[in-house]
Amino acid sequence: MDIELGAQLIDSLRIGLILLDHRGRVVSWNGWMKRHSGLGLADVAGRQLAELFPEVSGSRLESSISDTLRFKLSSMLAPSLNPSLLPLYHRPTDRQRDQRMQQLIYVSPLRHDHCACLIQIHDMTSALRRERRLRAQSTRLIESSYQDPLTGVGNRRRFDQDLAQRFRQAKDRQRSIAMLMIDVDNFKAYNDHFGHQGGDACLIQVARTLRDGLRRDGDRVSRYGGEEFAILLTDTDGPSACAVAERLRLAVEQLDLPHPAAPGIGRVSVSIGIAAMVPSDEQLCYILVAQADLALYTAKDAGRNGCMWYDAESGVARPLPASKTS
């Protein structure tokens, strides 16, 4: 091949190409390297990379070059483990911000009288940007699959997963776990009076109020179904769960959403059933759900807009102690 043609081909490559001699000094530096480093062959010839770029000294790239020159070993330096080893930039403005391109670098031995090492640099910036974008989209998709599309709180799938995981943790650690089962009172009548859009708006406000009323990181509201919501409280005993339930009930009542079809109160309210336990080895997580559900329907039968807690000793649901409702 014609030498001039060979030089043109090397300069037209869309990757960086560096040739080093047996002492690690630059012999060849193609056009891609000149464009992205700002240095031409005249600036770099006969010098080692660590002289040109001080950050190369002590880096994985320097040790890879050394292994290639001494032991004829090849290596690959991935951008995920070796970000931006060389100061290479797409645009002058990137250089001012030191926003380097992401690089995949191959270091290979050569058997030649004048050249001992070939370094190939691939620009991975766009590929990594696409990967991050796809990962973010995947994360959002996974999150949306656990989110109720109307209210924005967790959905039933989210609750079921949380229940299995947190119940198992409570059992392993022998710590108390509590559950609140919450139902919007007389919601069918509300829907009939205000229409489905009004009903949706009511559920959104109630869900937001319940979510905002939780004070600990990790506590989460999920829409259990229809107008029912569920909350799991880790490391929470019965009295503490009762206090949380009463605080949330009052918060919904204080929204003061008109409900002409609600007997007596005349505004939107919720009923809440509470259950708490330190799980034993033989207990299943759905026992907690059944207990909270029993307490909820006892609260509804007692007139709604109230809280009931499940008393495991007697097997019945009881009103909250006076201190929790004061």
For residue 139, tell me if it sits in a domain.
no
On the 0-12 / 13-18 / 19+ scale of CB atoms within 10 A, 3 is exposed
pLDDT at 218: 84
Place of tokens 């951008």: 79
Whether this model's pTM surpasses 0.75: no
Q: With residue 219 as reference, give the H or E element that holds it.
A: none
For residue 134, tell me if it sits in a domain.
no
CATH of the domain at 32: 3.30.450.20
Q: What is the mean pLDDT of residues 246-261?
A: 95
For the chain, give the number of residues. 326
Asked whether residue 282 falls in the same domain as residue 155, the answer is yes
Q: In what order do the strands lie in the sheet with 16-20?
A: 26-29, 16-20, 117-123, 103-109, 75-77
Place of tokens 């009295």: 239
pLDDT at 233: 97
Asked whether residue 237 falls in the same domain as residue 308, the answer is yes
DSSP 100: P
pLDDT at 54: 93
In terms of residue numbers, what domain contains 30? 3-129
Asked whether residue 110 falls in the same domain as residue 171, the answer is no
Tally the domains of the chain.
2
Can you list the pairs that 167-172 forms with residues at least 24 positions away whose Cβ atoms lie under 8 Å? 167/279, 167/285, 167/288, 168/285, 169/234, 170/234, 170/278, 170/279, 171/279, 171/280, 171/281, 171/283
Report residue 2's pLDDT band, with 50, 70 and 90 as the boundaries. Answer: low
Asked whether residue 211 falls in the same domain as residue 121, the answer is no
Q: Indicate the average pLDDT of the chain.
A: 92
Summarised one tens digit per residue, pLDDT across range 291-312 is 999 999 999 999 999 999 999 9
For residue 136, tell me if it sits in a domain.
no
Summarised one tens digit per residue, pLDDT across range 23-48 is 999 999 999 999 999 999 999 999 99
Residue 230 has pLDDT above 60, yes or no: yes
Domain boundary among 81, 104, 129: 129
For residue 34, tell me if it sits in a domain.
yes
Asked whether residue 264 falls in the same domain as residue 209, the answer is yes
Summarised one tens digit per residue, pLDDT across range 51-60 is 999 999 999 9
Report residue 324's pLDDT band, with 50, 70 and 90 as the boundaries. Answer: low
Residue 285 has pLDDT above 60, yes or no: yes
Radius of gyration over alpha carbons of the chain, in Å? Answer: 33
Percent of the chain with pLDDT over 90: 79
Domain boundary among 82, 99, 129: 129
For residue 211, tell me if it sits in a domain.
yes
For residue 213, tell me if it sits in a domain.
yes
Report residue 326's pLDDT band, with 50, 70 and 90 as the boundaries. Answer: very low
CATH of the domain at 183: 3.30.70.270
For residue 52, tell me if it sits in a domain.
yes
Rounded CA-CA distance 271/249 in Å is 7
Q: What is the mean pLDDT of residues 168-195?
A: 96
Which residue has better confidence, 84 or 174?
Answer: 174
Summarised one tens digit per residue, pLDDT across range 98-148 is 899 999 999 999 999 999 999 999 999 998 889 889 888 888 888 788 999
pLDDT at 265: 84
Asked whether residue 255 falls in the same domain as residue 152, the answer is yes
Asked whether residue 158 falls in the same domain as residue 68, the answer is no
Summarised one tens digit per residue, pLDDT across range 208-226 is 999 999 989 889 999 999 9
- The answer to whether 84 touches 101, Cβ cutoff 8 Å, is yes
Asked whether residue 239 falls in the same domain as residue 317, the answer is yes
Asked whether residue 260 falls in the same domain as residue 290, the answer is yes
For residue 137, tell me if it sits in a domain.
no
Asked whether residue 83 falls in the same domain as residue 171, the answer is no
Asked whether residue 171 falls in the same domain as residue 305, the answer is yes
Domain boundary among 74, 104, 129: 129
Asked whether residue 97 falls in the same domain as residue 201, the answer is no
